[in-house]
């Protein structure tokens, strides 16, 4: 685990930002950052490919800890994975009969929630385990759902086992998915392969991150599986085949958010190319959040450009749909002018770490003002002034680490602990950050 001296940058417009997003000469940040593939799209494409009728190809595959764990798990379960020798991001997936195996989930929500329903289709025992903190992440909901659908499950959290018989009866199940949208997505991804398909009813407080469920429904449609969503909080899938698809993964917009935030806090400019015109990725909404905070935002010819203002404005935002962006947005709020309120994100207590507690502790440690509410955070910003230097703990959470890097850009002496944790979804984050600053 290594500590990382977060680089700082001179505040002010970058080389091309003085008169507009495309005009000349300043001294600050001015960069174009190309992002690797989306974690969420990659891990959905890989699961669908493993359950499909024939071989699929996934292009632009994210190669990071979460997606490499998914590839390893699918291989252990009997899927043939062929990585193109010319590009590790082009992966062919050849489905085979699923068999018993040991699955390491790491800290990946997408592995621990998407694979148990697929493992239920295996013949044999599948043992799931993961990182120490993964054992504390909410899991019972999907395991109880599988029990209700006729699957033999032993355990309520990691580690647990599934004894597959080669088929799953399926049918109707009622769950409380307020802890994570991944409970719904996980069931939906495999549902067409269940004998009776599935009807999932959500009963409980609102489901978070619903754009991620839209992503699942959308990708299933691409694979020929129709999800009936005509009744709110009910998802119905008829049994049927999952088609093989030639997938192309969009860049990861939630990871892009951290780089765009760098422009926001420094008054510089950052551009992200290949920004999709239409997407189900909730990360796309960072554009609206940055605009609300006073950034100049432009989406032109497939590139999203952001230029930061003199001082960021405080915001009052319900982040239930886009909870994944909270650490990035909280870092911005810590430097904004006034008090920000971030709500609708109680479920973040079950993410990679308790993100509400972690953000409160770390922002406070650097001299900022942040308190937890029942369902979010209240943050009084510094109105552009620096916080004070010190260690920013990462809690094995990639987005905590990148939030520390954002604050560190304008706060001398910030040391981000365990920067390697960013490899969960972003290989070589430190290198990308340095290159963005022109210091590679």
| Residues with active-site annotation | 324
What are the two backbone dihedrals, phi and then psi, of residue 372, each rounded to the nearest 5 degrees?
A: -85, 145
Strand order across the 227-228 sheet:
171-175, 198-202, 234-237, 227-228
Structure tokens belonging to residue 220:
């299933």
Please tell me the count of residues contacting ligand PEP according to CB under 6 A: 8
Confirm whether residue 324 is marked as ligand binding.
yes
Nearer to ligand PEP, 44 or 380 (CB): 44
Max Cα-Cα span within the chain = 66
Structure tokens belonging to residue 302:
């497939």
Q: Count how many Cα atoms sit within 13 Å of the Cα of residue 205 in the half-sphere of its side chain.
A: 11
Which of 65, 202, 212, 355 is close enough to bind ligand S3P by CB under 6 A?
212
Q: Residues 6 or more apart from 80 whose CB is under 8 A from it?
A: 93, 94, 96
Nearer to ligand PEP, 30 or 324 (CB): 324
Per-residue binding letters, 250-289, with ligand PEP (x by CB under 6 A): ----------------------------------------
Q: Judged by CB under 6 A, does residue 351 bind ligand PEP?
A: yes
Nearer to ligand PEP, 314 or 401 (CB): 401
- From the list 17-25, 78-86, 107-115, 238-246, the region that binds ligand PEP by CB under 6 A is 107-115
Residues in the chain: 440
* Minimum CB–partner distance for residue 14 and ligand S3P (Å): 30
Nearer to ligand PEP, 30 or 393 (CB): 393
Nearer to ligand S3P, 30 or 214 (CB): 214
C-alpha span between 405 and 430 (Å, rounded): 9
Per-residue binding letters, 344-373, with ligand S3P (x by CB under 6 A): ---x--------------------------
Residue 150 DSSP class: T
Nearer to ligand PEP, 29 or 119 (CB): 119
Which of 30, 250, 324, 337 is close enough to bind ligand PEP by CB under 6 A?
324
C-alpha span between 238 and 198 (Å, rounded): 7
Confirm whether residue 355 is marked as ligand binding.
yes
Confirm whether residue 281 is marked as ligand binding.
no
Which of ligand S3P, ligand PEP, none lies near 376, with the C-beta cut-off 5 to 8 A by kind? none
Q: Are strands 246-248 and 56-59 parallel, antiparallel or unpaired?
A: parallel
Which of 64, 110, 178, 280 is close enough to bind ligand PEP by CB under 6 A?
110
Q: Judged by CB under 6 A, does residue 326 bind ligand S3P?
A: no
Q: Cite the DSSP H helix spans in 77-139.
A: 109-119
Which of 79, 110, 360, 421 is close enough to bind ligand S3P by CB under 6 A?
110
Confirm whether residue 182 is marked as ligand binding.
yes
Question: Is the torsion defined by CA of 353, 112, 144, 163 positive or negative?
Answer: negative
Mutual angle of helices 326-333 and 355-365, in 10-degree steps: 30
Q: Which of residues 409-428 bind ligand PEP (CB under 6 A)?
A: 425
What are the two backbone dihedrals, phi and then psi, of residue 21, each rounded to the nearest 5 degrees?
A: -70, -10
Element (H, E) at 272: strand 269-272
C-alpha span between 74 and 89 (Å, rounded): 16
C-alpha span between 71 and 114 (Å, rounded): 13
Q: Judged by CB under 6 A, does residue 354 bind ligand PEP?
A: no
What are the two backbone dihedrals, phi and then psi, of residue 271, each rounded to the nearest 5 degrees?
A: -115, 140
Which of 250, 321, 324, 393 is close enough to bind ligand S3P by CB under 6 A?
324
DSSP assignment of 20-43 equals STT----SB-EEE----B-HHHHH
Q: Judged by CB under 6 A, does residue 209 bind ligand S3P?
A: yes
Nearer to ligand S3P, 254 or 340 (CB): 254
* Minimum CB–partner distance for residue 350 and ligand PEP (Å): 9
Q: Which of residues 153-182 bind ligand S3P (CB under 6 A)?
A: 180-182
Residue 327 DSSP class: H
Residues at the interface with ligand PEP (CB under 6 A) = 108-110, 324, 351-352, 399, 425
Residues at the interface with ligand S3P (CB under 6 A) = 40, 109-110, 180-182, 185, 208-209, 212, 323-324, 347
């Amino acid at each position: 685990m290594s500590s990382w001296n977060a680089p700082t940058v001179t505040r002010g417009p970058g080389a091309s930002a003085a008169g507009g997003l495309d005009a000349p000469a300043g001294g600050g940040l001015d960069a174009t950052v190309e992002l690797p593939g989306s974690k969420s799209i990659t891990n959905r494409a890989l699961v669908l490919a493993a359950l499909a009728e024939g071989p699929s190809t996934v292009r632009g595959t994210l190669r990071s800890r979460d997606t490499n764990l998914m590839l390893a798990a699918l291989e252990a379960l009997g899927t043939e994975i062929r990585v193109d020798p010319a590009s590790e991001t082009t992966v062919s997936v050849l489905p085979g009969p699923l068999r018993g195996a040991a699955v390491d989930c790491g800290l990946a929500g997408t592995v621990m929630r998407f694979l148990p329903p697929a493992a239920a289709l295996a013949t044999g025992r599948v043992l799931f385990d993961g990182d120490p903190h993964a054992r504390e992440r909410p899991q019972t909901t999907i395991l109880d759902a599988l029990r209700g659908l006729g699957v033999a499950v032993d355990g309520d959290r990691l580690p647990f086992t599934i004894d597959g018989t080669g088929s799953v009866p399926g049918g109707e199940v009622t769950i409380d998915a307020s802890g994570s949208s991944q409970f719904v997505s996980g069931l939906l991804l495999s549902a067409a392969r269940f004998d009776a398909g599935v009807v999932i009813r959500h009963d409980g407080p609102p489901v978070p991150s619903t754009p991620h469920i839209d992503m699942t429904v959308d990708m299933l449609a691409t694979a020929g599986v129709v999800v009936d969503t005509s009744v709110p909080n009910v998802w119905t899938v008829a049994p049927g085949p999952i088609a093989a698809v030639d997938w192309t993964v969009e860049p990861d917009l939630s990871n892009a958010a951290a780089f765009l935030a760098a422009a926001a806090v420094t008054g510089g400019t950052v551009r992200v190319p290949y920004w999709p015109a239409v997407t189900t990725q909730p990360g796309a909404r960072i554009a609206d959040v940055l605009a609300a905070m006073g950034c100049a935002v432009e989406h032109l010819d497939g590139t999203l450009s952001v230029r930061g203002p003199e001082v960021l404005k405080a915001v009052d935002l319900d982040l239930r749909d886009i909870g994944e962006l909270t650490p990035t947005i909280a870092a911005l709020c810590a430097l904004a002018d006034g008090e920000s309120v971030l709500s609708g994100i109680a479920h973040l207590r079950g993410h990679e770490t308790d993100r509400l507690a972690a953000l409160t502790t770390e922002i406070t440690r650097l001299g900022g003002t942040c308190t937890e509410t029942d369902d979010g955070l209240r943050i009084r910003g510094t109105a552009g002034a620096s916080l004070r230097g010190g260690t920013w703990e990462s809690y094995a959470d990639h987005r905590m680490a990148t939030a520390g890097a954002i604050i560190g850009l304008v706060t001398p002496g910030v040391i981000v602990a365990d920067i390697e944790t960013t490899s969960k979804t972003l290989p070589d984050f430190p290198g990308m950050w340095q290159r963005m600053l022109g210091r590679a």
